Amino acid sequence: MVQPPDTAADRHLRLVALLVAGTFFMENLDATVITTALPAMAASFGVAPARLSIGISAYMLTLAVCIPLSGWMAERYGARRVFAGAIVLFTGASLLCGLAGGLWSFTAARVLQGVGGAMMVPVGRLLVLRRTPKRELVRAIAILTWPGLVAPILGPPLGGLISSWLGWHWIFFLNLPLGLAALALALWLVRGEGEPTGAFDLVGFVWTALACGMSMTAVELASRTPVDAPLVAALAGLGLAAGALALCHLRRAAQPLIDLSALRIPTFAAVIGGGSLFRIAIGSAPFLLPLLFQLAFGMSATSSGLLMLALFAGNLAMKPATGWAMRRFGLRGVLVGNGLLVAAGFLACMAFGAGTPPALIAAVLFATGLTRSMQFTALNTIGFADVPPARMGGATTLFSMAQQINSGLGIACGALALKLAGLLRHHDGSHLDATDFRLAFAAMALLALLALLDAARLPRDAGAAVNGRIAGESRG
């Protein structure tokens, strides 16, 4: 099918998508970049390194709690105003993080940063998706997808380099020129929109915030060692109960905080269901692989970080081919066929041993980077393929909430898989070896396979409107 030529509107939307992708990269990077800088920060604050985990937890928790606000804020005050204000808040909070002289002032600044990030990314995504015609959606989604793939991989090694050569403060100070540039571009590129909407749904916000907050806290505590199992179970149970109450309220409310009607669309529901399982499985890789290289194979942090860059290279290398593959095989065909390759990638990681040549490991990671990049883009594309503009606000809010919770669950599930491997092998997990990681990779492969069930049930022409295909068109 011959694609229509680019118009000025198409080029403008592409620039907005690149801007939103840049802010998404900033937000995702700040979630992981401090992990390798924690010892230096702890020494600066005069506290034990373990206590700095509150800086990561506060940021992730604030994101999860405040994301439900983003859709209402965008409708009430206009997406352009909220997006620009979120950039200002995120950038200003970054300055406060860099200037913090103690643990609690740093934690407070991280909370502010989380509020900015919670508004910045979902509203930015809404700005792009609401205005993008279906024929351009594949390209827009490909642009919006890469930060979620790249930032978790680049964050730890970048944080280590910056803290070693410039000092940990510069991890946050580097956001200042980026944030100012993003603000200038937002004011230039983003057009005003939005009309005053109804009253704020306080009840919906309270239940949703409690559900997200307690669930994310349970996930974060579950990833620690040792695990306070009763506390984790209690928080998880309360989170599920609050989530059930939130769903009941949002379905009955005349003007709910989050519009759930997009879940009636099969393609969007599949991305929230099976797509979440896939994101959890993939989210475990940046956690499990560096630990395997360092704890089981005895590599240095630098060597393991360099190997992880092969995964990043695969993510980027696949981008030019995503549109062709989805047009050639259809979105459902890509999700099922490429999803099997994603699961095979986890099984390939099981073959790694201490004597495996680094070049071979890098080649396997590059290949898995290709497949996970394709799967992310296909999932995100099909998820919004059938969502009409009127429902895009609720859909982007739900998608952002799922994405945020999935990112935390990926790490927690990776840690849980290692603990279960230790139980199966009758040890306490204090001395992990390659066999423990092989069992964990097998569990993640199974999770990736389960994620394909929703995609397999979709019709063959699912997402045809955005894929340049006509429903029922035969494959050439």
Rounded to whole angstroms, the Cα distance separating 25 from 149 reads 9
For domain 1-200, give the CATH superfamily. Answer: MFS general substrate transporter like domains (1.20.1250.20)
Rounded to whole angstroms, the Cα distance separating 364 from 286 reads 14
pLDDT band at 193 (very low <50, low <70, confident <90, very high): low
Q: Mind listing the pLDDT tens digit for each residue in 78-135?
A: 878 888 999 999 999 999 998 988 888 988 999 999 899 888 878 888 778 777 776 6
8 Å CB contact between 113 and 30? yes
8 Å CB contact between 16 and 140? no
Rounded to whole angstroms, the Cα distance separating 218 from 237 reads 9
The C-alpha angle with vertex 18 and arms to 262 and 82, in degrees rounded to 5, equals 60
Tokens, residue 295: 């704890």
Residue appearing with tokens 């907050």: 213
Q: How many CB atoms lie within 10 A of CB 48?
A: 8
Tokens, residue 137: 């959606």
The better pLDDT of the pair 156, 341 is held by: 341
Tokens, residue 37: 């800088």
- Extended strands (E) in 337-387: none
Q: Mind listing the pLDDT tens digit for each residue in 129-182?
A: 777 776 677 777 777 777 766 777 777 777 777 877 888 888 889 889 989 998
Domains 1-200 and 260-476 fall in the same CATH topology: yes
pLDDT at 428 over 70: no
Rounded to whole angstroms, the Cα distance separating 216 from 403 reads 12
Q: pTM of the prediction?
A: 0.76
pLDDT band at 224 (very low <50, low <70, confident <90, very high): low
pLDDT the model gives residue 476: 34
Rounded to whole angstroms, the Cα distance separating 349 from 444 reads 11
Q: Which of 84, 72, 104, 81 is nearest to 20 (CA)?
A: 84
pLDDT at 50 over 70: no
Rounded to whole angstroms, the Cα distance separating 7 from 29 reads 33
pLDDT the model gives residue 449: 94
pLDDT the model gives residue 365: 93
pLDDT the model gives residue 86: 92
For domain 260-476, give the CATH superfamily. Answer: MFS general substrate transporter like domains (1.20.1250.20)
- Sequence ranges of the domains in the chain: 1-200, 201-256, 260-476
Q: Mind listing the pLDDT tens digit for each residue in 374-384?
A: 898 888 888 88
pLDDT at 340 over 90: yes
Average confidence score pLDDT of the chain: 81
pLDDT band at 430 (very low <50, low <70, confident <90, very high): low
Q: Mind listing the pLDDT tens digit for each residue in 358-409?
A: 999 999 999 998 998 889 888 888 888 788 877 877 788 888 888 777 876 7
